[in-house]
Amino acid sequence: MRRRGPGTSLLHQLLCLRCQSSTGGFPPADGDSSGSSSEPPQRSTFRLIVDWFNSPKADLGDGDTDWISVVPVAGEVNGGGSVLPELSLICKMSSAQWDFPLELCCRPMAFVALTGLDVTYNAVHRAIWDAFCANRRADRVPISFKVLPGDHEYPKCRQKRTSYEWYIPKGILKTGWMNKHLNLVPALVVVFYELDWDDAQWKEKQSECATRVEIVRQSLHGRNTKVAVVLIQKKTPLPPGEDLIASERAAALCNACDLSGKSLFVLPHTDHLVGYIIRLENAFYEHAQTYYYTEIRRVKSHKEFLNKTTHQLLFVRHQFKTAFFSELKQDTQNALKNYRTAYNLVHELRAHETNMLEIKTMAGFTNYKICRLCFQHNAPLDAIAQFRKHVDLCKKKIGSAELAFEHAAWMSKQFQAFGDLFDEAIKLGLTAIQTQNPGFYYQQAAYYAQERKQLANQLCNHDSSTAYPSPDPLETPAGVLDFFGQRPWRQNHQSIEPPDAEKEKVGILALQLKERDVDHSELIITLLSNAVAQFKKYKCPRMKSHLMVQMGEEYYYAKDYSKALKLLDYVMCDYRSERWWKLLTFILTTALKCAYLMGQIKDYITYSLELLGRSSTLNDEQKSRIEKNLIKVLMNESPAPEPDCDSKAIKTAQKVWADRISLAGSNVFTIEMQDYVPFVECKARFLAPSFHVDDPVQIHVYLRAHCPHPFRFSKLCVCFNNQEYNQHCVIEDTYQTSDILDASSQGTMCLVPGKTRQYVFKFVARTEDVGKKVEITSVDLVLGSDIGRCVILNWRGGGGDAASCQEALQATRSFKRRPKLPGNEVCWDSVTIQASTMVISRIPRISVQLRHEPPALTNEMYCLAVTVQSQEATTAKDIKLTAGLKPGQDANLTQTTHVTLDGTEMCDDSHPALLPDIPIGDLHPGEMVEKALHIRCGQVGSRIFLVHVSYVVTTVVEGKEIVCKCHKDETITIETVVPFDVTAKFVSTKFEHMDWVFADIPFLLMMDILSASPWSLTIVTSKLELAPSMTAVDQMESQLAQVVLQTGECASECFCLQCPPAPTNHSGVASGRYIISWKRTSAAKSIPVVNTVITLPHVIVDTIPLFVHAELPSFGRVRESLPVKYWLQNRTKLVQDVEIFVEPNDAFMFSGLKQVRLRILPDTEQELLYNFYPLMAGYQRLPGLSISLSRFPAISNDLLRRFLPTHIFVKPQGRQANEVIVVAA
């Protein structure tokens, strides 16, 4: 065989050693597992089997021996660790009698004893032991190891019975049995021995080893415990088969020790110790399993000898033992099956009073094991079903009536243990739900603990003179019982009747006396708090509260009043907010007792207030008792004790109260009412949601009491957010302490039960508070006086307590008619709380009138006349006007709106849009003042203008002179429109439309001004500012000066212009600006003229090669010569050939060249002279001049003709004309 890793080689060695004496055929070592790696399949099982009870330190055997529990703690250590102290706490508190023994609760593991190891002085042995102990995680086999000396005495095995014929069992299960098999009787004893194969003294050593084995065997005489030998070797062994000496000597050693080859192991002490150890313990585990298997077989073999009449107990015992051995064998399925059978057998036993406890104890044990295993098998429902069955079967098995408390204690323990098991399973991953969680079991356990307490109180109320019996009947010679669940004074007794009635009596007395000393409350509280923790987890707030109430009550019984009070106080608000008044009243009653017994004045008063209140379900008699006590406390006297209190505690309490009286100071208590439902209700309201500063602010405070007797108070005050007002809203009465009981006085300071009392307060708001909110921060009602004790009932806001909100809602829903109350009485439900009001400014008594002529015209100085007239009775002082654009409008409007007071100058951008605080001075009553505002709006559109007039006036309110600031706002919307539409046109001198102009050829600019204003406008003047590219042909005088335009009228003027040649471009050349100066015709002279600037359009300038123009008179006359000159101007640098042809016409005869061909030199002009002779009068067409340019064929005749006149007016021949001619002649 090939050498592999060191771990593998050991494995082979081990295997080979075993092969030699057995049949062989072992499976080959799996892979290269070095031994230190874990074995995965076991992990999952062991993870589940975590036993929190089984702590390594819970040593059950003799203290000196080292032993370890194999069950892994790593990972789950937290869970286990946290449970342990809790457990020990419970153990300490409850009498240990009812606790399950630890060996029952632990997880059974195979017990293997290691001998021949000197762990104190031998380092090698220590290392081996450490390897066994250290890192026992879930993946390692569940074995509990112990190091024992080689000559350790194991418990003696009793002579095995061959026949059961005459045997009568004395009990079900011996108390020591479980511990014996867990910790005393090993399944396997391992003898460690240092011996190498090539040891020089082989023979001697071999026999020594054999002796050691023999000693162990001797000690285990009669038991089936296995023995194994481990040789500790220094050398690494050779692969099997190669070391012939080893094989030979191993066989010899086996022979000498009478061992099978399976039980001899070699442990080389090398680097890979842990790997070897794991291999070893797996082998041990197999041996242990075989041992427990044979034990099970042995127990089962007894069965056939038993008969059902005499050996009933043995059936249970054997079944239990089989189950327990199965557990040790880690066969939990069979263990569960056997425990179930055992459980059924327990209940088949004949039960009578003397053995009831034993039966219940065994039933409890078996049930515990079953439930544990069910949870372990992840079958919680099976566990619950088993437990329910268990409880149902055992509930009625009370046993001795004198010891009934024992049954309750036992039941309590059953529930508690199940709760613990359930909780533990949850910690390991089980999911519980609201209706099935451990809390219910703890709760039930607590319930039984309470029952136990009650029963104990009934049964154990012996005189204090009753002495504990001596000798103690509960003492046993051995200090422990022989069998579980038996009575110490009659152990091993199984018949129906007790053997000695006297002993029985003494024994019961002893138990009763012991029970008397048990602190039941502590037990109950622990269980309740466990339950509370669970219910908190599973969303049961009400259950939690209920249990906390029970805890509080239990603390009360245990006389721990402060804890009781703390708990009750904590849950009170839950019941209050859910409005379960009956429960609340009950809790309050207990709390009041606690407060009384501790002398807690504030708590006492608080609870009294609420118990007197409308939520309390107490009857009037109880209420009036509480009220009387409350009055006593307020008068600094001791209250009468609460009923049903412990008399001793009352004595202490009375002393405390007496001390309280003598203590001066700190006698003022403030109680916040919104957390309670006190016996006085309060509502406060301002009469209006807002008050003018010159009106007094009015407040009504309503009080209603619910106590059985009229109640006096000493002070009522309202507090505001502005504390200056507080002084105005106080009612105070310094009454004598003797008056306090004088209920007949119906004074204002006395509240009659059920009647609503109204208190009216008034004050004048401060002028600084105008625009502010006045709020009621609290209403304080003071009971008692400074002389005695003083309680301030403090309602936050305008009153209302923990219940009033819902009541108000119900009242609004109600269809009931409000009762008619006499006179000034108010129906409580109709009052609504109004805790805040606004102080607003006084109503102004001035008129503000605005005069203007809308719409405004763009850029004009629009005049807005504001007239302010005072209607005040006194002088209005310090009048200020704020006017202009109302803030908050489009930012663009703000930029294009300017306001000024000075109308004589045009305002510019430096003027604001809003003029604030223009001082106007004072106005006497009736006086009037006018202010003109000038607004310039740069853009059309709608604007909102604000005119705000503020002033100060002095008035008298409630006899107090106050200075009021008043103001009045007016807003108007003003539309702005353009004053006129201006259009500019370029036309030829013949007024023909032109798309472009020709360079150096005159043309006309036509300006049309169409008035769009509803008001007549005066054009003061107009002006044309030409661009440099334009020149005027003649004088540029305005033709429109002083023209008045009505709406819709149009004014036009034209200018003759000329344009020098310009480089051709598409956008044309600038023409200049046209400025119109205008104003409204109605405007005053002082109003400045508005200049409206119109930018003229660009014009495209073109050149023309030939310019033609004519010179002719403005009119002709029939038969009179009409001289016409045509000028042809060459505008190019070229010589041009021009052909001219005059088209004849019926209206004219003419003389001159009819057709001519000319040549015109560059930049010169040619003159053609014609004499036309008109033949007809009227507007006549002139003979056309047709020009064609051979060089520029594109220039058509039509284009050129545009420069020439086409018609002329011909006057008829007349007398006058003749005269002229005559004259001329």
Partner 1 sequence: MDGFESNGFTEDRCIKSGGDSVVEQICSFRNHLVKGGLQNYPLYIKTVPTENELKFHYTVHTSLDVVEEKISAVGKALVDQRELYLGLLYPTEDYKVYGYVTNTKVKFVIVVDSSNIALRDNEIRSMFRKLHNSYTDVMCNPFYNPGDLIQSKVFDNMVSGMMVQVC
Residues at the contact surface with partner 1, assessed by CB under 8 A:
380-381, 384-385, 391, 432-436, 440, 444, 447, 539-543, 546, 549, 575, 577-580, 582-583, 586, 806, 809-810, 813-816
C-beta closer to partner 1: residue 376 or 550? 550
Question: What's the closest the beta carbon of residue 268 comes to partner 1, in angstroms?
Answer: 54
C-beta closer to partner 1: residue 553 or 1053? 553
Question: Residue 866 burial (CB < 10 Å; 0-12/13-18/19+)?
Answer: buried
C-beta closer to partner 1: residue 806 or 1082? 806
With H, G, I as helix, E, B as strand and everything else as coil, classify residue 901.
coil
C-beta closer to partner 1: residue 816 or 1066? 816
Question: What's the closest the beta carbon of residue 522 comes to partner 1, in angstroms?
Answer: 23
Alpha carbons 1223 and 521: distance in angstroms, whole number: 157
Q: Which of 1016, 1020, 1023, 1022 minimizes the C-alpha distance to 1045?
A: 1016
Question: What's the closest the beta carbon of residue 806 comes to partner 1, in angstroms?
Answer: 7
Question: What's the closest the beta carbon of residue 416 comes to partner 1, in angstroms?
Answer: 14
Cα radius of gyration rounded to whole Å, the chain: 62
C-beta closer to partner 1: residue 537 or 1211? 537
With H, G, I as helix, E, B as strand and everything else as coil, classify residue 572.
helix
Question: What's the closest the beta carbon of residue 432 comes to partner 1, in angstroms?
Answer: 8
| Structure tokens that stand for 784 in this block | 């008692």
Question: What's the closest the beta carbon of residue 424 comes to partner 1, in angstroms?
Answer: 17
C-beta closer to partner 1: residue 378 or 971? 378
Q: Which of 653, 660, 654 minimizes the C-alpha distance to 636?
A: 660
C-beta closer to partner 1: residue 582 or 655? 582
Question: What's the closest the beta carbon of residue 541 comes to partner 1, in angstroms?
Answer: 6
Instruction: Enumerate the H helices of 144-190 as residue ranges.
Output: 177-179
Contacts of 585 (CB under 8 A, 6+ apart): 611, 615, 616, 617, 618
C-beta closer to partner 1: residue 519 or 578? 578
C-beta closer to partner 1: residue 132 or 575? 575
Instruction: Enumerate the H helices of 489-616 as residue ranges.
Output: 501-516, 520-537, 541-557, 561-578, 581-598, 601-611
Question: Residue 1082 gets which letter from DSSP?
Answer: T
Contacts of 478 (CB under 8 A, 6+ apart): none
Question: What's the closest the beta carbon of residue 826 comes to partner 1, in angstroms?
Answer: 21
Alpha carbons 225 and 246: distance in angstroms, whole number: 28
End-to-end CA distance of the chain: 166
Q: From the CB of residue 895, how many other CB atoms can be counted at a distance below 10 Å?
A: 12
Question: What's the closest the beta carbon of residue 701 comes to partner 1, in angstroms?
Answer: 28
Alpha carbons 253 and 247: distance in angstroms, whole number: 10
202-219 and 244-257 helices cross at what angle (nearest 10)?
40
Alpha carbons 622 and 620: distance in angstroms, whole number: 5
Question: What's the closest the beta carbon of residue 279 comes to partner 1, in angstroms?
Answer: 43
Contacts of 322 (CB under 8 A, 6+ apart): 296, 299, 300, 338
| Alpha carbon 957 to chain centroid, angstroms | 52
Q: From the CB of residue 1100, how many other CB atoms can be counted at a distance below 10 Å?
A: 17
Question: What's the closest the beta carbon of residue 433 comes to partner 1, in angstroms?
Answer: 6
Question: What's the closest the beta carbon of residue 93 comes to partner 1, in angstroms?
Answer: 24
Alpha carbons 19 and 240: distance in angstroms, whole number: 10
C-beta closer to partner 1: residue 551 or 783? 551
| Alpha carbon 157 to chain centroid, angstroms | 69
C-beta closer to partner 1: residue 540 or 1069? 540
With H, G, I as helix, E, B as strand and everything else as coil, classify residue 1099.
strand
C-beta closer to partner 1: residue 551 or 857? 551
With H, G, I as helix, E, B as strand and everything else as coil, classify residue 195.
coil
Q: Which of 644, 646, 653, 556 minimizes the C-alpha distance to 604?
A: 653
Alpha carbons 993 and 113: distance in angstroms, whole number: 131
Q: From the CB of residue 226, how many other CB atoms can be counted at a distance below 10 Å?
A: 23
Alpha carbons 536 and 1063: distance in angstroms, whole number: 97
Contacts of 1054 (CB under 8 A, 6+ apart): 987, 1004, 1005, 1006, 1007, 1039
Instruction: Please list the residues that pair with 931 across neighbouring strands.
Output: 866
Alpha carbons 752 and 1126: distance in angstroms, whole number: 126
State the number of CA atoms in the 13 A half-sphere of 527 facing the CB: 30
| Structure tokens that stand for 1183 in this block | 């003979």
C-beta closer to partner 1: residue 648 or 813? 813
C-beta closer to partner 1: residue 429 or 888? 429
Question: What's the closest the beta carbon of residue 284 comes to partner 1, in angstroms?
Answer: 41
With H, G, I as helix, E, B as strand and everything else as coil, classify residue 318.
helix
State the number of CA atoms in the 13 A half-sphere of 406 facing the CB: 24
C-beta closer to partner 1: residue 436 or 1029? 436
C-beta closer to partner 1: residue 299 or 540? 540
Question: What's the closest the beta carbon of residue 618 comes to partner 1, in angstroms?
Answer: 13
Q: Which of 211, 215, 229, 217 minimizes the C-alpha distance to 267?
A: 229
Question: What's the closest the beta carbon of residue 375 comes to partner 1, in angstroms?
Answer: 13
C-beta closer to partner 1: residue 326 or 450? 450
Question: What's the closest the beta carbon of residue 413 comes to partner 1, in angstroms?
Answer: 15
C-beta closer to partner 1: residue 108 or 380? 380
Question: What's the closest the beta carbon of residue 380 comes to partner 1, in angstroms?
Answer: 7
Question: What's the closest the beta carbon of residue 419 comes to partner 1, in angstroms?
Answer: 14
With H, G, I as helix, E, B as strand and everything else as coil, classify residue 257.
helix
Q: Which of 235, 262, 267 minimizes the C-alpha distance to 17?
A: 262
